Amino acid sequence: MSSAQIASRAIKELDPEDVKVLHGLEKTITRFESIPLQILKKLTGLDEGKLVFRLGRLNALGFVIKSQFGYTLVSAGLDALALRFFVERGLISGMGRSIGMGKESDVYEVISDAGTRSVIKFYRIGRISFRATRAKRSYSKPETHHQWLQINIEAARKEQEGLERALAAAVTTPQFIARNRHAVLMSEVEGMMLHECRKGEIEKPKLLMKEILENARKAYVKAKMINGDLSEYNILFDGEKPWIIDWPQYVNLDHPNALEILARDVKNTTDYFQRKFGIETDLTKAVQYVKGEKTKI
Ligand SMILES: Nc1ncnc2c1ncn2[C@@H]1O[C@H](COP(=O)(O)OP(=O)(O)OP(=O)(O)O)[C@@H](O)[C@H]1O
Ligand SMILES: [Mg+2]
C-alpha cells in the first residue's frame, strides 16, 4: 500500500489527541529534524504518558519515526493531515485508484461527498533519485526528512499558482479545486497521456500540435509564464483537445533562462509530432508564434 492509501485508511482511526500531536510535530518541521519530547509536551499540552502513547500509535500507523533525539514526521503523516483537510470540507469522501505514480508525485482518483470525481496529487519529491529532480529545480540537496516535506509543500503551492494563472489565461488545464500542504486537488481529465496514444487514436495530429502550441502561447502572452516541462508526458489528450498538466516548475518571463526553457518546451512538442507523424515544423517560427510575435506557426 502506498503512503496515501495507508493515510486514507488510518485517518478514520485518528482521535483528536492523535491529530493534536501531528499538528504539534508539523509546527516544528522548520526547526528540528527530530523533535524532542519536551517541545512536543509544550506544543500539545499533553502530559508525558499520554504523549508517548499517542506517539507510539502514530509510529505504528507509519506517520512518525522515532530516534534517540525525538520524533520525525514522515510523508504518510503529512498525507493524513492533508486528507483530513479535504475530508472535513466534503471535498473528498473516498480514495479511488492510483492513476499516476511519477517521479515527483502520486496521483489518485477521489470522490467528493457530492459524488464528483476529481484527482489528488501528493508531492513526493525526494522519494526517488535526487538527480532527476535537480535537473529541473534550482535548490541544493536537502539533508533531512523535514526539509523534503517543506520542498513538497512548496511544490504544491507552486502548482496551485501555475494552475490558477494558466486557467485565468484560458489555457486548457485541469480546474484547480483546493490545495492543502503538499497535496493539490483538481478536476480529472478523461484522457490519455500523449506518449501513450497510438497513431490511429490521433486523427488530426497537425491540428493537435497547433492547439498545444496555442496553449503555450496563451500561457506566455496572457499569463506571462512558461510551463517548463512541456512534452508528451505532460499532455493529456481526451480525443478532442489537449490538456496541459504539471505546473510546479513553471517560470516567469523574467527568468534568466526563460527563452531557453520556452524553446525546449516548443522543441519537445514539435519533435514528438515529427517522430510520430513526420510533421516538420520550423522551430524558430514556432517559438515566435508562442511568444506572440507571429499569428501563425
Ligand atoms: N488532472 C488529471 N486528470 C487525469 N490524470 C491526471 C491528472 N493529473 C495527473 N494525472 C495523471 O498522473 C500522472 C502524473 O501527473 P503529473 O505529470 O502531474 O505528475 P509528475 O509527478 O510530474 O509525474 P512525472 O514525474 O512522471 O512527470 C499524469 O501523467 C497523468 O497520467
Ligand atoms: Mg509529469
**Helix or strand (DSSP H, E) at 179:** strand 176-180
What is the 50 CA–ligand 2 centroid distance (Å)?
Answer: 43
User: Domain range for residue 243?
Assistant: 192-290
Instruction: Identify whether 205 is part of a domain.
Output: yes
- Give the ligand at the shortest distance from the Cα of 230: 2
User: Does the active-site annotation cover 229?
Assistant: yes
User: CA angle 182-106-209, nearest 5°?
Assistant: 105
Contact (CB, 8 A) for 192 and 205:
no
The neighbour count for residue 205, using CB atoms within 10 Å, is 16
Domain of residue 127, CATH code = 3.30.200.20
What is the 247 CA–ligand 2 centroid distance (Å)?
Answer: 9
Buried-exposed string 124-139: b where 16+ CB fall within 10 A, e elsewhere: bbbbeeeeebeeeeee
Contact (CB, 8 A) for 119 and 97:
no
- Per-residue pLDDT tens digits of the chain, which is 297 residues long: 788 888 998 898 899 999 999 999 999 999 999 999 999 999 999 999 999 999 999 999 999 999 999 999 999 999 999 999 999 999 999 999 999 887 899 999 999 999 999 999 999 998 865 445 555 555 556 668 999 999 999 999 999 999 999 999 999 999 999 999 999 999 999 999 999 999 999 999 999 999 999 999 999 999 999 999 999 999 999 999 999 999 999 999 999 999 999 999 999 999 999 999 999 999 999 999 999 999 999
Instruction: Identify whether 295 is part of a domain.
Output: no
Domain of residue 28, CATH code = 1.10.10.10
Q: How many domains does the chain have?
A: 3
Assess whether 181 and 197 both reside in one domain: no
CB-ligand 1 contact for 186 (6 Å cutoff):
yes
CA distance 14 to 128: 29
Contact (CB, 8 A) for 107 and 100:
yes
Q: Dihedral, CA atoms, 180, 184, 185, 189, nearest 10 degrees?
A: 180
- Give the ligand at the shortest distance from the Cα of 107: 1
CB-ligand 1 contact for 233 (6 Å cutoff):
yes
Assess whether 117 and 71 both reside in one domain: no
Instruction: Identify whether 82 is part of a domain.
Output: no
Instruction: Identify whether 209 is part of a domain.
Output: yes
CB-ligand 1 contact for 105 (6 Å cutoff):
yes
User: CA angle 58-59-65, nearest 5°?
Assistant: 125
Of the residues 18, 79, 229, 246, which is catalytic? 229
Instruction: Identify whether 84 is part of a domain.
Output: no
Assess whether 69 and 133 both reside in one domain: no
Question: Cell numbers of 56, please?
Answer: 507510539
User: CA angle 177-185-221, nearest 5°?
Assistant: 65
Residue 101's pLDDT is what? 86
Concatenating the DSSP letter of every residue in 24-82 gives HHHHTTTT-SSB-HHHHHHHH---HHHHHHHHHHHHHTTSEEE-SS-EEE-HHHHHHHH
Select from 35, 50, 77 the last residue of a domain. Answer: 77
Instruction: Identify whether 108 is part of a domain.
Output: yes
**Helix or strand (DSSP H, E) at 221:** helix 205-221
Assess whether 37 and 100 both reside in one domain: no
Question: Cell numbers of 88, please?
Answer: 472535513
Assess whether 152 and 180 both reside in one domain: yes
**Amino acid at position 226, single letter:** I
Instruction: Looking at the CA of residue 174, tell me the nearest atom of ligand 1.
Output: 1
Question: Cell numbers of 166, please?
Answer: 494558466
CB-ligand 1 contact for 103 (6 Å cutoff):
yes
Assess whether 97 and 174 both reside in one domain: yes
CA distance 291 to 221: 6
Instruction: Identify whether 17 is part of a domain.
Output: yes
CA distance 62 to 6: 8
Predicted TM-score (pTM) of this structure: 0.95
Which residue from 101, 107, 118, 121 has its CB within 8 A of the most atoms of ligand 1, so it is best to mutate?
Answer: 107
Assess whether 34 and 118 both reside in one domain: no
Do the strands 251-252 and 235-237 form a parallel or antiparallel pair, or are they unpaired?
unpaired
Assess whether 225 and 277 both reside in one domain: yes
Assess whether 180 and 139 both reside in one domain: yes
Which residue from 238, 245, 265 has its CB within 8 A of the most atoms of ligand 1, so it is best to mutate?
Answer: 245
Instruction: Identify whether 235 is part of a domain.
Output: yes
Assess whether 99 and 175 both reside in one domain: yes
Assess whether 182 and 254 both reside in one domain: no
Select from 148, 164, 187 the last residue of a domain. Answer: 187
Select from 77, 99, 124 the last residue of a domain. Answer: 77
Assess whether 67 and 115 both reside in one domain: no
